[in-house]
Chains A and B, each alone.
Chain A
Amino acid sequence: MSDPQNLSPADRLGGGGNNLRQYWPVLLVPVIGLIGWFGSQPVTITLLYGATWATYAVGYDMFSGFSGRVNLGYAMFPATAAYVTAALSARFKLSPFISIPAGIAAAVLLAVLVGALTLRITGIYFALSTSIIPLALFQLTHVFGKFLGGEEGIWGVPPIFTDPRLDLVVVLLILGASMCFALWYVRSKAGLVLRAIQGGELTAQALGLNTFRFLFVSLLASSVIGATAGAYLAHFQMLVAPEILHIITTLQIITFAQIGGPGTIVGPVLGSFLLVNLNEYLRAWTDLRLFVYFATLVLLLRFSPDGVLVPIARAIRRLFRRTGAPSGPEGI
């Protein structure tokens, strides 16, 4: 079945064309909602964070998983949205209906700047420059310490709901919408162009493609997804700490995506929920936890660059297909 001369389904995802069936993995979202609604409060909270990270991972994957441009500073988008939202609501007492859109707008503005500065830089230097920008922003939180809270971050962001289950519903709606949009986007023409850019940007330009434009629009779209989750995080967490701008935040997102299956949109979601839950069991040993994460990331990059969860799911599906009715050649 896995003929190396033919494309794997993951390769076909980008630009594969849209159909309704591709959205079935989004059904995972209501299932998680039910578990969180009827589960104990710690379960609800864990899933709340899981859904937030999963949304970041979707945003990261729709750009980096398809263009091959590793955005090592992805966390700057949710972080900027979270900071602006927190500052506006905690310091100026603005309503979340203003603070959240303003936070997202600030992150998109940042993405415009980042895109203009970095997207013409290729290869490792793109990753390097994107990784530096959040470090610069981190310093800004200290420079404007009075306003942005410095080391302490911003405390006292008013919550929107008192019941975390309602927060979970909102974040899951954000996740579900993000998954639908990202799946649609990467399976549309843009996904094919991003994969072509990954394969050879100059060749794509020789074919008349304005590769900068495709990368730029994709980066903005990916920033909106992370920023929406980040802005809401500020409200349900009731604080924003500067650690969100550390490179570790982005490395965690990349680990989640890499475990699930980069370039699949659904894989990073599965990876996020799996690891955030695992996290809870490992909570006692914080430092070791990160060590395990990053050791896993290195091993994955070496031994399973296509991820773990999606390849396993695919193998199971293949087993069913061999015995059951034939199904379509595409999809997850």
Chain B
Amino acid sequence: MSAGPSAAAPFLEVERVTKQFGGLTALDAVSFVVRKGEVTGLIGPNGAGKTTLFNVISGFVPPTSGRVAFQGEAVTGLPPHAIARRGLARTFQIVRPFPGLAVQENLAVGGLSNRVFDTGRELAGARAAAEQVARRVGLLPWMERQATTLPHGLLKRLEIGRAIMMHPSLLLLDEPFAGLGGHEIDEVSDCIAELAAGGLTLVIIEHKLRALMRLVRRVIVLNFGRLIAEGSPREIGANALVREAYLGEKGAARLA
């Protein structure tokens, strides 16, 4: 990798982000940075605040305090669509295909601009781009199918495909392997690895650690809304706090 001067500058900067829901502190002064081209894992027990953190970064939930900057500019307070337009895309833990839309149309929606009136060129372009993306994520044989009728494994790929239709520079993946079996995980994992190899910066929430560790160089651990550890998979596996809060001894063995 050619490391230019900008390669080391923070690409995504999360600064003391706190989120309170009533009396519950879902995120407690969480700070970390993600560098361009990096693939970061975000792990922690259920309820640790991982998805809330994604929701704050992508603008779906305003933080109680703190700040998120993307490519050097603050995005806190911007609506979700504006943040997405800056190249920060996300997927959802529970798949959200558009019902009533074909697979091809689901993908095409991800490639549309915010101009309401179109002579037809943009729509045709988005449909053509959908074919390209479908080839990359392996959805080509199902393009005409109503998306909601796809099996779960394919819906997971549709989520990723729809997000990359936007040509994001940072992609937040919320449990891309959830509910998938052995070879399905390999397929989605290969697809993610390919995106990373193409230069896409990724942050991945995942409980399936063995699969996750094949993809990431760096891991962030949340517990009860606090960032409790940050480091390489090996460092995280050796961290006593993380073992106690989340991994257990067996889990730690998977990171070794």
Residues of A within 8 A of B (CB): 4-7, 11-12, 15, 17-18, 188-190, 192-193, 195-196, 198-200, 202-211, 213-214, 217-218
Contact = CB atoms under 8 A, between A and B. Distances in A.
User: How many interface residues does chain B have, given as a range?
Assistant: 35 or more
Interface in B87-123: 89-90, 92, 96-102, 105, 108-110, 112, 114, 116-118, 120, 122-123
Contacts of A4: 146, 149
Contacts of A15: 105, 108, 123
B166 A207 contact: yes
Contact of A205 (B84, B122, B149): B84
Contact of B100 (A198, A202, A210, A214): A198
Nearest to A18: B120
19 contacts: A7-B144, A11-B100, A11-B102, A17-B127, A188-B117, A189-B123, A190-B117, A192-B101, A196-B109, A205-B80, A205-B81, A206-B60, A207-B84, A207-B89, A208-B85, A208-B114, A209-B112, A214-B114, A217-B116
Nearest to B165: A207
A189 B118 contact: yes
B205 interface: no
Contact of A207 (B82, B97, B99, B110): B110
Contacts, number: 118
B101 A195 contact: yes
A192 B105 contact: yes
B61 to A, nearest CB: 11
Given A7-B102, A189-B123, A192-B105, A203 B92 contact: yes
Interface of B: 58, 60, 79-82, 84-85, 89-90, 92, 96-102, 105, 108-110, 112, 114, 116-118, 120, 122-124, 126-127, 144-146, 149, 162-163, 165-166
Contacts of B98: 195-196, 199-200, 203-204
B60 A202 contact: yes
Contacts of B126: 189
A204 B118 CA distance: 18
A195 B117 CA distance: 16
Nearest to B84: A208
Consensus secondary structure, chain A interface: helix
Top 6 nearest A-B pairs by Cβ distance? A199-B98, A208-B84, A189-B118, A189-B123, A205-B80, A217-B116
B145 A6 contact: yes
Contact of B118 (A188, A196, A213): A188
B21 to A, nearest CB: 18
Contacts of B99: 199-200
Contact of A189 (B101, B110, B112): B112
A110 B109 CA distance: 30
Contacts of B101: 7, 11, 192, 195-196, 199
Contacts of B100: 7, 11, 195, 198-199
